[in-house]
Amino acid sequence: MFSEAVKDVRPLPKHDRAVHPVKKPKPIPNQFIRDEQQALADSLSDHYIPAHELETGEELLYLREGHSPDILSKLRRGHWVVQAAIDLHGLISDEARLYVSTFISDCKKRGIRCVRIVHGKGLGSHNREPVLKHKLRGWLMQKDEVIAYAQARRQDGGSGAVIILLKA
């Protein structure tokens, strides 16, 4: 029956065929959209706390002797791309020390130069003091692999994180 129904059908010439190219949709930056929405909500919140009031200690800055001060300014401006990161939230001091030491050693072995360590602002700790922030300062100074470190830029964690430059 079908053959009988289509016996007089001829294919259209190629130039008359409608060709609709399949375009891939552009990726949707969902995380960026959520971040922007959260920033807007925070800017209008009744519970907004200015960033300077969250500062609980001095800015972390360190430059190993014998290196150019330009390294610190470049590090603070985000000159190097962060290649690896860890988060110390929820760890006790001994766990954090071991984690940091292992992380830095692994990065050195893998040839990673710039890393971020999120230590937190201490808002959830006893007396609301950044315990790990102060301890991290001493730990990093003791690691020979560390050339310099600086407090992260606001978008990278601000006073709750540190950006570290490791030896090549």
- pLDDT tens digits, 139-157: 888 888 999 999 999 888 8
pLDDT of residue 56: 39
CATH topology (fold) of 58-166: Ribosomal Protein S8; Chain: A, domain 1 (3.30.1370)
Q: How far apart are CA 164 and CA 114, in angstroms?
A: 6
Structure tokens at 126: 């006893």
pLDDT > 70 fraction of the chain, expressed in percent and rounded? 77
Helix (H, G, I), strand (E, B) or coil at 86: strand
- pLDDT tens digits, 83-114: 999 999 988 888 888 889 889 989 999 999 99
Domain layout of the chain by residue ranges = 58-166
pLDDT > 90 fraction of the chain, expressed in percent and rounded? 27
Q: How far apart are CA 39 and CA 112, in angstroms?
A: 32
Amino acid at 27: P
Where is average pLDDT lowest: 47-56, 76-85, 102-111? 47-56
